[in-house]
Amino acid sequence: MPLATVNGIALNYQVKGDRARGTDTKGAAPLVVLIMGTGSPGRVWELHQVPALLAAGYRVCTFDNRGIAPSFESTAGITIEDMVADTAALIELLDEGPALVAGTSMGARVAQELALARPDLVRKAVFLAGHARLDLFQKTLSEGEHELDASGVRLPAKYDAAITAVMNLSPATLAEPNAARDWLDLFEFTGGPVGPGVRAQRRMDHDFDRLQAYRGIRVPCLAIGFADDRMIPAYLSRELAEVIPGARYQEIPDAGHYGYLERPEAVNKVLLDFFSSSR
């Protein structure tokens, strides 16, 4: 991924097109910008969403949000306004806007605020596990994460993997022995201490309520909720769609917070159908 200076910081990004389809050059096809959630790099989209979008004839931009090295880690603190400005500056740098935009979890918040503040840069927007506010559970969980980060305590790897699985996967996935084993092994292998940039992302303001503000969004929007999501319950995603004029809502069954990884075929179909629709 190349590093670009946007909004006064270094941002690690990548743009892909399909050479066989003639979409590998600037402006050859509509650009989709994918915004990742807390603590994860942009390359996570490469597992399922990028291949599907390329096969459908789109160009795709993924990037590491501030807080995720080698992008600027912003250890002194991160605000949602920072991340919105980063994304807007990246789209302007690419000079291929207005873009189709999709984000998940924290990335959905960025996409929501971008659609509100810079509709000139957004053709359509999709919010996976989107939300205009958090309920008491999410706020308490966030405070607990902050305290755990500050304490320096490390959970045993297997226990940490189990907690990660319960919080981010559907019971339907965990009921399948092979799938459960694969996910638990992955979480155990990739777990451990998080860096200062990720901790800065985790410290972002969680006491917000943007329900009234989002009534001002005018670009076509789709909110996708995951039926078994414990991190961002589906009712919060449905609530988001209800306040945005003309927005659609789609719920994916048997999917947790990582629904775009658990049920990629279902998510990709909804995503592609919305992007290709007349509205």
Tens digit of each residue's pLDDT (9 = 90 or more) over 236-266: 999 999 999 999 999 999 999 999 999 999 9
| Res 97: pLDDT | 85
Q: Region 32-58: what's the mean pLDDT?
A: 97
Among 45-49, 56-60, 90-94, 196-200, name the one with the lowest average pLDDT: 196-200
Among 4-18, 82-96, 149-163, 230-244, name the one with the lowest average pLDDT: 149-163
Structure tokens at 211: 């329900």
Find out if CATH 3.40.50.720 is the number for domain 3-135+208-276. Answer: no
Answer whether residue 207 shows pLDDT above 70. yes
Q: Region 205-234: what's the mean pLDDT?
A: 96
In the chain, what percentage of residues exceed pLDDT 70? Answer: 100
In the chain, what percentage of residues exceed pLDDT 90? Answer: 85
Answer whether residue 52 shows pLDDT above 80. yes
In 58-141 the beta strands, taken as DSSP E runs, fall at 59-64, 99-104, 122-128
Among 98-107, 111-120, 191-200, name the one with the lowest average pLDDT: 191-200
Give residue 55's pLDDT band: very low, low, confident or very high (50, 70, 90): very high
Cα–Cα distance, 208 to 223 (Å, whole number): 19
| Res 145: pLDDT | 85
Cα–Cα distance, 99 to 90 (Å, whole number): 11
Answer whether residue 215 shows pLDDT above 90. yes
pTM of the model: 0.96
| Res 1: pLDDT | 64
Residue range(s) of every CATH 3.40.50.1820 domain in the chain: 3-135+208-276
Relative orientation angle of helices 157-168 and 177-190, to the nearest 10 degrees: 120
Cα–Cα distance, 248 to 230 (Å, whole number): 22
Catalytically active residues are 105, 229, 257
Cα–Cα distance, 77 to 79 (Å, whole number): 7
Q: Region 148-171: what's the mean pLDDT?
A: 92
pLDDT, mean over the chain: 95
Answer whether residue 30 shows pLDDT above 90. yes
Answer whether residue 192 shows pLDDT above 80. no
| Res 166: pLDDT | 96
